[in-house]
Amino acid sequence: MSDWIIETHRLTRDFGSLRAVDQVDLQVRAGSIHAIIGPNGAGKTTLFNLISGYIKPTAGRVLLRGQDITRVPLHRMAHLGIGRSFQITNIFPTLTVLENVRLAAQARGRDNFRLWTSAAKLRAYTERALAALHQVGLHERALQIAATLPHGDKRRLELAILLAGDADILLLDEPTAGMATEQVPMLLDLLRGIRQGTNKTILIVEHNMSVVMSLAETITVMHQGRVLAEGSPAAISANQAVREAYLGTAFAGGQP
């Protein structure tokens, strides 16, 4: 069996006449933190949508542990262990923090469409939700209404939701977006802790270059729908083609 938990083969997606993702071959190592970067409009979110099954490709394939999952319907994707966060916070604002996380645990437990679930099962889901809240340091806010959380804590809640869903692969779309600068190190520690403690694979789209450079082991750079470069943070920082693709941005200015 190969080391790759996710692979894409010549993955392509058109929107009308626009080719947003163009024959992308990606290989993500199990248990790694792998970042996808690239200028605005490079196709990063579309690639995430393809891997997580939110949209289907025009051509090409997505493999999970060597199995072709390209045509698996969306509602079965969570059961395959792929968890996805969004650029915009994706929580139920009027529910408590604990309720949000318990729903995720329940959804993975396949009880999501049953009105009545046994007390023992409910207790197990609550325990799993509390464990996830502990992991992200939000347990003390378990009974707070989600809408009232500060922004950084909402991002933590999203992570807890993914963890309670027991996904092996976390696809995080700009987890630091909208976060205050002083909260970013907390998120980095959290992601490193998740990776070390659970051996989950983390695939991250992120614009904050210092986050990418300090967190990722492998970086794939996209430009105009294609893979422009791939390598370690040091190799990508030194790559001339990458610098040119980012011309006029902070990266080109030498502050990756």
Ligand X SMILES: Nc1ncnc2c1ncn2[C@@H]1O[C@H](COP(=O)(O)OP(=O)(O)OP(=O)(O)O)[C@@H](O)[C@H]1O
> Is 213 one of the binding residues for ligand X (CB under 6 A)?
no
| Percent helix, strand and coil across the chain, each to the nearest 5 | 40, 25, 35
Backbone angles phi, psi at 227, to 5 degrees: -80, 120
Q: Using the rule CB under 6 A, give the single segment among 44-52, 104-112, 149-157, 179-187 that binds ligand X.
A: 44-52
Output 55 or 95, the one with its CB closest to ligand X: 55
Spatial CB neighbours of 58, under 8 Å, sequence gap ≥ 6:
12, 13, 14
In whole angstroms, how close is the CB of 166 to ligand X at the nearest point? 27
Q: With contacts defined by CB under 6 A, how many residues of the chain interact with ligand X?
A: 11
Distance CA 193, CA 219 (A): 20
Among positions 24, 26, 42, 202, the unique one binding ligand X when judged by CB under 6 A: 42
Length of the chain: 256
Pairing of strands 226-231, 218-223: antiparallel
Among positions 2, 3, 10, 15, the unique one binding ligand X when judged by CB under 6 A: 15
Q: Using the rule CB under 6 A, give the single segment among 13-21, 93-101, 152-160, 233-241 that binds ligand X.
A: 13-21
Residue with tokens 């197990």: 124
With 0-12 / 13-18 / 19 or more C-beta atoms within 10 angstroms meaning exposed / middle / buried, residue 216 is buried
Residue whose C-alpha is closest to residue 179's, from 154, 145, 204, 209: 154
> Is 18 one of the binding residues for ligand X (CB under 6 A)?
yes
> Is 43 one of the binding residues for ligand X (CB under 6 A)?
yes
Among positions 31, 41, 109, 231, the unique one binding ligand X when judged by CB under 6 A: 41
> Is 38 one of the binding residues for ligand X (CB under 6 A)?
yes
In whole angstroms, how close is the CB of 201 to ligand X at the nearest point? 20
Output 45 or 218, the one with its CB closest to ligand X: 45
Among positions 17, 40, 67, 181, the unique one binding ligand X when judged by CB under 6 A: 40
Q: Give the three-state DSSP class for 70.
A: coil
Which residues of this protein are in contact with ligand X, per CB under 6 A?
Answer: 15, 18, 20, 38, 40-46
